[in-house]
Structures are given as structure tokens and as C-alpha cells.
Amino acid sequence: MVGFFKGTATAMITPFKDGGINFEAFARMIEYQIENGTDMLLVLGTTGEPPTMTDEEKLAVMRFTVEKTAGRAKIMFGCGSNSTAHAVEMAKLAEKEGADGLLAVTPYYNKCTQRGIVEYYKAICSAVSIPVVAYNVPPRTGVNILPATAEELSLIPNMAGIKEACGNMEQICETMRRIRDKMDLYSGDDNLNLPILAIGGAGLISVVSNIAPKETKQVYEYMAAHDLDRANELEDKLLPLIDACFTEVNPIPVKYGCDVIGLEAGLPRPPLTELEDAHKKIMDDAIKSLGLKKL
């Protein structure tokens, strides 16, 4: 299927405090995104640190997100797992709690064949009636959705797209060729936002937009209007911040960046650690160069 969403989605961080979830801070983050034009909130994706959260915490976050968003933006919940049964269980729960769509990362660690990938997504899609987006991020999972496999996935009725973060534009172009007009392609790598939009990507699922949602949305709008000059000009200004967000493994840097602008992100949960001092300076400089003010 095509047309689930167009525009920008923010891969939301989960703010922690005193061993639990800081819902007061999370409410501010939701408002910040909506006020700055973000079209969809991706909650409990990789950036939200779900591997360190209990299912009870995830449920609480789902309910809180739906309540606070109140229909002002679409909501997509992460439900992927290296257990197909658990992914299906979480997909059903997310649909029940009011998700507009689901993001399901490929199975990780135990890995699987390309046939296993297809069966995994068939199981998730058949368990729910809402749109499902596959998430391809081989550097994290060790599993790569190849273009021919993406084409097969596009035949599943409620398979709405693929979030691409494989880092290989040659592969992404071939995937786009095979799925065009069958399901949508989304950029899952802020460094590749412009080229993915240029080949027909439907939108951006962004980490950087936790800090700079307005600017990220503007890049999308310039590209949608075929104004490449202004898109490039703004993307050039964003690139130092994009680079700063990946000096260490996501979401370590972006959580620090949110703290800098006045959003109380807190520290990541172990085994992730606090951002190193040298990288804090890089983030500080990037935020300053973009002219972002403290909220």
C-alpha cells in the first residue's frame, strides 16, 4: 500500500529520570514536535531505547502518547523483535492502544534468511489491520532486506513501506525501483535525507528532528516543492548537527542535544553511557551554529 504518511516523522527519545520514565519531559517533547510541524511521532523505535524497557513501561508510553497527542499528529509505535511471536504480540497491543501504524525492525542477533524476513512481516501484517513499515538497519541487526525481498514485501496488503538505513544508496535506488507505486520508501538515515527524497522517498524518519524538527520539516517541504537550491542550503546548515548526533551510538548524542536546548532527556539506560566530553563540545557547537535557542 502507498500513502500511509508523507512528510517528517521524529524517532522520539524516551526521557528517563530516577529509574523511570519522565512523562512530564515527554509531554514537552510531544508538544515541541507538534508545534514545529512534525507529521508523525515514532515512539519506541531504536532511538527510544525499547530494549531496556519492560513491556509494562512500553504500554504506559503508548497510552501516554495517544492521550497527549490527541489526534494532532499520526503515531507509529515500534513493535519489532527477534522473536516473531513477541513482535506479533506487541503489534496487536499497539493497534489496540490507538497506533496509526507500526514500525517493525528486522529480527536481530539470531538473524534469519530472506525467506525468514518475508515470513516475519507476513506474520505481523496478518495480525493487525493498520499499516506496517519495515525497518532495514543492517549495521544494528546483522540482517539486510535486499531489494528483491522488499519487492515481495510490497505485495502484502497492509505493508506500507520500508524505512531505509542500510547506508547503501545503490541498494536503496534498486529497492525504490522495485517498490515504486507499491509501497513507500522512507529515509531512516539523516545523512541520506536529500538523495532518498530525490528518488521518490515519501518522507523522513529522523533522529535529528528531536532537536531541530522545524528545520527537518522545511528540508522536506523544499524537496516536495522541487526547490533543490534551498533544500541544499538548509541541509548544509543541518549537516554539522546530523554528524554530531552520530559521534556515538544513537541515542546517546541526541539525548544530550535535547538537554542542551532545554528538553529534559536524561541519560540513556545502561549499557549506553553518557556522551563523552569531546563529543559534547561537538554537539554544543553544532547547536550554536544552527542558531537554536534554549526552550
The residues annotated as belonging to the active site are 135, 163
Task: Please state, in angstroms and rounded to a whole number, the distance separating the CA atoms of residues 29 and 37.
Answer: 13
Task: Please state, in angstroms and rounded to a whole number, the distance separating the CA atoms of residues 62 and 241.
Answer: 29
In this structure, which amino acid lies at residue 206?
S
Cα-Cα end-to-end distance for the chain: 39
In this structure, which amino acid lies at residue 250?
N
Distance of CA 174 to the CA centre of its chain: 22
In this structure, which amino acid lies at residue 294?
K
Mind giving me the DSSP string for 138-176?
Answer: HHHHS----HHHHHHHTTSTTEEEEEE-S--HHHHHHHH
